[in-house]
Amino acid sequence: MIVLLTACKTPPGIDGQGGDIIQPGAYNVKFIALDRSITDPAMDRRTYYKVFIDKVESGRTTTGLESQEKSFETTLSSNRHLLMVEKWILDEKKGQYIKLNNIEQPKPNYIYFSASANRIITIVMETDSEGKARFIVDFGN
């Protein structure tokens, strides 16, 4: 007697247009922030960003120097969304992170985008020396 056992597994989703494969439970939105204008190590502060999706605090990026990539990953429904960020820096005298004042926050500090349940969207925010932010959105391959 031969017994065959099979198990059901949810197959990964894929976009019909060749988007990146999404495994069940994986993120479909990745946010990356960095400052490309830092050239002096003395000016390269430790920082992170609080991330708000649709005006609700959703988490924060990893912590790193301003010149390094800091990232945040989440899973969103297929819809149009608003992503907003707040920059927080380490106050070395106080030994704690403080919110950068509004005048020094990246401008703009938000972007509207459309998420898809089966495609990974990467949003990169690059900030220059004047605090001007530029968003680059990659909708996958």
Residue 24 lies in a domain: no
User: Is 96 inside a domain boundary?
Assistant: yes
Asked if the structure places residue 61 within a domain, the reply is yes
> Count of domains in the chain?
1
Q: What is the CATH number of the domain that holds 63?
A: 2.60.40
**55 vs 68: CA distance, rounded Å:** 26
pLDDT of residue 21: 57
What is the average pLDDT value for the chain, to the nearest integer? 85
Model-wide pTM > 0.85: no
User: Does residue 78 form part of some domain?
Assistant: yes
Domain residues for the domain of 60 are 29-138
pLDDT tens-place string over residues 2-38: 433 333 333 333 333 444 555 546 899 999 999 999 9
In a domain, 2, yes or no: no
Query: Does a structural domain hold residue 92?
Result: yes
